[in-house]
Chains A and B, each alone.
Chain A
Amino acid sequence: MSTDQALWNRGYRYALALTGDGPSAEDLLHDGWASALRARPEPSAGYLFRAIRSRWIDRWRRTQRVPFEALRSEPEAPGRGPGVTASDRQRVQQVLATLKPDEREVIFLAAVEGYTATEIGELTERPRGTVLSLLHRARQRVRNQLLDHREVMS
């Protein structure tokens, strides 16, 4: 996979964490990508994320609303890790769709990108304490909903 494609995919996942639905994420990614390229021929992931986030905020200000649409249904693929099944992934998708965008954003940056709370705070312009609080709340909501689901299933 080329560097461009890898960065493109990372940008898409971040946009997906912000928007919560694939088509909007693609649209946001295109805009963020173009913006990042205009400023830097070789944008880093952090720079692309900032461009995407800036576009997201612009849109939010313009529309004065954040769409809370369900994540689109993806074709089921087998889970990658041991113990991760396709239905687990589908359930995680449903749970993530119930999180607020800022919760989804911080849990994405921590879990997928491996950012520290300080780094997330720098990117999202939030105090570290706020990030930790959001992250704790997001993890708790994911955990509780997944456990509730397991209890129902059993």
Chain B
Amino acid sequence: MNDDLVDGLVADFYQSQTPASVPPRARSTGWWWVAGLAAAVLVASVAGATGWALRAPAPPSTPRAADLQAPAPDEPVHVDQDGRVKTVMIQGSAADLEPEPGPEEALLGSRFDYEVDWIEGAPPRLDHDFVVVLVQPWCPHCEPGVEATMDAVADEPGLPVMVLSSLSRGATEEQFQAMLHFEPALAGAGVISSELERELLVGGGVPRALLFEDGEVVWVGHPRHLDQAL
């Protein structure tokens, strides 16, 4: 059995693997942040009108790499042997090029007030410690994610867990209820707006757990890793 055959078998296996999910959004435009800004303004105005305050995480203070990509004509551009641009000298300090905070980092320290349409249970006090799990009924990994969360908090009496979903892709409350089995330890389950879900996910996927202490996000990650945060 030579290397080519080994590689062929490995390639065959990986090529047969496909993700259960699809790309979350089209990337035909660089103006996604405009939609995000519009959504944030909409949520803020609705929140103001209803007396609910939603404090979104502060935007990153450093400029994005994409904003810095266009070099001035007199700036050096290094081209490799094939004529491809390898490096482009751009204005700004090294600090300007630091990567943006990821979904987890962007949420840490944030506070949210929830407008939730509760379908089961009662909301926990938002100024206390609690766990939020974001799920979708169509997501095959979400039900195990809820179970992992309940396992993680089993040794944490008094730490309420609420499972929230925006019921996207036409999912129904019945499907949502069916995936939860109405765990007796759940503090509540409810439906939230897709805007609030986007705020909480910050580009990440479901299932996602958020641990709040005194109302502030102190940990974000996959529910299976929640036990390491507790």
Q: A34-B204, A92-B13 are in contact. Are A139 and B19 (CB under 8 A)?
A: no
A92/B103 in contact, CB under 8 A: no
Not counting A9-B19, A12-B19, A31-B205, a sample of 4 additional A-B residue pairs whose C-beta atoms are within 8 angstroms of each other reads A33-B23, A35-B102, A40-B65, A77-B16
Report chain B residues within 8 Å CB of A62. 221
Q: How many A-B residue pairs have CB under 8 A?
A: 141
- Selected contact of B19 from candidates A29, A108, A112, CB within 8 Å: A29
Whole-angstrom distance between the Cβ of B100 and the nearest chain A Cβ: 6
A34 to B99, CA, bound (A): 13
Closest-by-CB residue of B relative to A144 is B1
Contact of B12 (CB < 8 Å), options: A7, A40, A55, A89 = A89
B58 within 8 A of A: no
* B11:A111 contact, CB within 8 angstroms: yes
Q: B6 in the interface, Cβ–Cβ < 8 Å?
A: yes
Within 8 Å CB of A16, what residues of B? 14, 17
A-B residue pairs in contact (CB < 8 Å), sample of 15: A12-B18, A16-B14, A23-B144, A27-B204, A31-B102, A37-B25, A41-B32, A62-B221, A89-B13, A92-B9, A92-B13, A96-B13, A107-B7, A111-B10, A143-B1
- What residues on B are CB-neighbors of A18 within 8 Å? none
A81-126 residues at the B interface, CB under 8 angstroms? 81, 84, 88-89, 92-93, 96, 107-108, 110-112
State whether A80 touches B27 (Cβ < 8 A): no
A interface residues, how many (CB within 8 angstroms): 55
Closest 8 CB pairs of A and B: A34-B203, A30-B205, A111-B7, A41-B30, A12-B19, A111-B10, A23-B141, A92-B13
Per-residue contact bits, chain A 25-63, to B (CB 8 Å; 1 contact, 0 not): 111011101110111111100000000001100110011
Q: In whole angstroms, how far apart are the Cα atoms of A16 and B14 in the complex? A: 9
Q: A16-B17, A93-B13 are in contact. Are A147 and B23 (CB under 8 A)?
A: no
Across-interface contacts of A111 in B (CB, < 8 A): 6-8, 10-11, 14
Q: Which of B10, B22, B102 contacts A58, CB < 8 Å?
A: B102
Contact pick for B21, options A26, A58, A63, A143, CB 8 Å:
A26
Residues of B within 8 A of A89 (CB): 9, 12-13, 16
Q: Are B9 and A112 in contact (CB under 8 A)?
A: no
A38 and B19: CB pair below 8 A? no
The residues of A with any CB-CB pair to B shorter than 8 Å are: 4-5, 7-9, 12-13, 16-17, 22-27, 29-31, 33-35, 37-43, 54-55, 58-59, 62-63, 74, 77, 79-81, 84, 88-89, 92-93, 96, 107-108, 110-112, 139, 142-143, 146-147
Q: Which residues of A contact B1 (CB under 8 A)?
A: 143, 146-147
Chain B nearest CB, measured from A90 CB (Å): 9
Asked, given contacts A31-B102, A39-B65, A63-B228, whether A112 binds B14 with beta carbons under 8 Å apart, the answer is: yes
What is the 8 Å Cβ interface bit string for chain B, positions 194-207, against chain A (1 contact, 0 not)? 00000000111100
**Residues from chain B with Cβ under 8 Å of A4 in the complex:** 23, 26-27
Asked whether, in the complex, the Cβ of A112 is within 8 Å of the Cβ of B225, the reply is no
Docked Cα-Cα span, A91 to B7, in Å, equals 14
The one of B7, B65, B100, B204 in contact with A30, judged by C-beta atoms closer than 8 angstroms, is B204
CA A146 to CA B3, docked complex, whole Å: 13
A33 to B141, CA, bound (A): 18
Q: How far is the CB of B59 from chain A (nearest CB, A)?
A: 12
> Which A residue sits closest to B142, measured CB to CB?
A23
